[in-house]
Amino acid sequence: MSRPVSPRSPRVAVVGSVNLDLVARVERLPAAGETLTAHGVTRVPGGKGANQALAAARLGARVRLHAAVGDDPLAGEALALLRSGGVDLRGITIAPDAPTGTAMIQVDDDGETTIVIDAGANATLAVDTADLDADVVLTVLEVPDEAVATAMAAPGFTVLNAAPARPVAGDVLVDVDLVCVNAREYGELAAHADLDAVAAVAITHGAAGAELRRRGRVVAHVEPPPVDAVDGTAAGDAFTAALALALATEIDDETALRRACRAGALAATRPGAQPSLPTLEEVDVP
């Protein structure tokens, strides 16, 4: 469960995924069986764990990422922006028999995406609670269940970004301080767990904004600032990192949610996952 967190440079441990994203830009997302010609293809560092680690670092936190990559050339590309962004990579392990994770992403002209992930080394990740001594411990569902459970049992302010959606054991959620999901993920998770019993749940609704629930009661609802969306790949990751840091440092619910919505909206205005992540100066506005 959570403990007091200093508002200045909180320590964050992220247990999550590292991918190299292969991004194809298309006029519109293809229908089943349809072939479209892309405007172009780029290679960009990604992975929900890595994205949220870099997002938290850009928002002023001291961040260590616990993740797994392959012993291959893709690993260097996938870790490049994390390294230059000041994320502590001493929690990275090398999986000798698995490739670095990859994601195949299509982005249309309205910023909507489809994403297919090959987990690769992410599926081998294992962590120890003793290594997760931090103010905030954040994890995602792109890593094994055992790693998720270990992260959520850590003593800090625990945050689960329940994406990609899959069933999560109810006992894992008992002591979680914050769960972040989009509306579709909320429905899938709620079918297997009592989310009204969770301390706090944030649900994003795209252009309709986001809501924060505490023990099932809506305590804040915020609409995002109007933006021209370019690529929504890391919008949810920026939202989660910003909300986790704000709530952990005891910023009030509505201000925290407004800051998170701004972070997510700003991330959607720029192409690529990690290159799009906003800074504290961009998010911390009235």
Which entry of 237, 252, 253, 284 is annotated as an active-site residue?
237
What helix, strand, coil percent values describe the chain, rounded to 5?
35, 30, 40
CA 152 to chain centre: 15
Query: What pLDDT is attached to residue 7?
Result: 55
In this predicted structure, the answer to whether residue 8 has a pLDDT above a threshold of 90 is no
Binding site feature residues for ATP? 182, 204-209, 236-237
- The topology under which CATH files domain 11-18+47-100+120-275 is UDP-N-acetylmuramoyl-L-alanine:D-glutamate ligase (3.40.1190)
Q: What mean pLDDT is predicted for residues 121-128?
A: 97
Mean pLDDT in residue range 36-53: 94
pLDDT number for residue 1: 46
- Top-confidence residue, 86 or 229: 86
> Which residues are annotated binding-site positions?
19-21, 47-51, 142, 182, 204-209, 231, 233, 236-237, 267, 270, 272, 276
Task: Please report the pLDDT score of residue 233 as a whole number.
Answer: 84
**pLDDT-based confidence at 272, cuts 50/70/90?**
confident
Residue 269, SS3 per DSSP: coil
Is residue 43 classed exposed, middle or buried when 0-12, 13-18 and 19+ CB atoms within 10 A define those classes?
middle
Domain boundaries, the chain: 11-18+47-100+120-275
User: pLDDT by residue (tens digit) across 193-216?
Assistant: 899 999 999 999 988 999 999 999
133 catalytic, yes or no?
no
Q: What is the pTM of this model?
A: 0.92
Binding-site residues for substrate, in ranges, read 19-21, 47-51, 142, 237
Share of the chain above pLDDT 70, in %: 97
